[in-house]
Amino acid sequence: MNYGNRNRDTSRSQARDRMNTITLAVPVLVGLEVSAALGLSWLCWRLAMRRNLLALRDIARAFVALSVTAMMQLLDFNALSGMAHALPDLGRSLALWMYLGFMVLGAAELATGNFVTGRVRRDAVLGALLAAALTMVISRVGGSTALGEDLIRNAISAGGTGIACIIIARVVDNAAAPPRMVLGAGVVRVALTLVAMCATLRAGIAILHSSGALPGVVDWAPILTVEFIAHCALCVGLVIWILDRDWALADASVESAEHRAAIDALTGLPNRSIVLDRLEVAVAGARRTGSLVGVLFLDLDGFKDVNDTHGHAAGDAVLRSVGTTLQGVLRASDTFGRMGGDEFVAISPSLRSETDLAIVVAKVRNALRHVVVIEDAVIHVDGSIGFALFPRDGETADALLAAADGALYRDKATRRLARSGALSA
């Protein structure tokens, strides 16, 4: 019995010597692979800490596990015998399954935007331990020689890799992302294709060799090297995607803040600062081109009575209705904004004559006179309008606004006298 074990150990050692071409032939290559994986892991961890991107932590852990997988190729366990051979087998399998688990966790965090809990991560580690133990047991029970064990391990790991690729592919396809986040997705898809091809090739070689269709010693070095590079590319693609998403969210936050600063919250119209800025731009453009700029100042009639009678919700609805209605009659190049309260300003650049301004004023006056129905209340909206023309009434934005504001109060007084005269009659 002891002789049988010794013969088995000797054949196992000889087979390992023949198969382990990475250890004997290209240790420098494996060293570079380990260095690359550890470097990428360090970079991911630094980014995770600096930018608070916790999803990168699992990608960093995946790189560490990948470096351990490659590092195991450099160690010579041929001096071990009996059950001692189970330790390196378990280590190789565990490193691989840990890598696959952390890679899937990182992809899941990327897709959902939610970070996995410590319990989920512990379950993933326990799953990797169980998968590694099963891989070792199945390979040692099913393989009569070291070569047979190696083939079984490669077949199992290839299957696990294929499953992980399918999961990540579904994550990539289902993950919501801004359209500009294309680089990370492209790298992930190409890397997934390479990983899946290498895993399929390893599984096919293992099956063919086990069936006797492919005799001889299997040299896994070229396939494993390409697969290692593809795995690195896959993790890098996920990192790029995470960073792209972080930058996109940051840009969206800045754009949202700028939008809130430039837009009136109630009506969605440009606010006072934007109106003044656009009037300055329109006046500067008119000076260069010799065109005219019309400025209209609007004030609603009886708006306080609307609030007092129907409530502030009705008053807000009236303001929104005025904004929507008047925007619909003005040109796309015109600006219509809310100055505050029930005061609005319209800017019409590139006018050719005073007649054009009169046409704009008539359109605005007709549109301003409309009805707003709120529940059972029917509110008749109307208002006064004052207007000014560059350069006739002023050559600066402030002068034009002052002229339009003065014309507005004259129009309000005229309309008030007309109403009182109509009532006395």
**Cis before 179 (ω within 30):** no
Nearest-CA neighbor of 147 among 90, 195, 210? 210
Catalytic residue among 334, 342, 405, 411: 342
Q: Which long-range contacts (CB under 8 A, 24 or more apart) does 37-45 make?
A: 37/63, 37/64, 37/66, 37/67, 37/70, 37/232, 38/63, 38/64, 38/67, 40/232, 40/235, 40/236, 40/239, 41/67, 44/235, 44/239
How far apart, in whole angstroms, are the C-alpha atoms of residue 10 and residue 30?
26
**Phi then psi dihedrals of residue 394, to 5 deg:** 165, 150
Specify whether 58 is catalytic: no
- Beta-carbon count within 10 A of 55 CB: 26
The residues carrying an active-site annotation are: 342
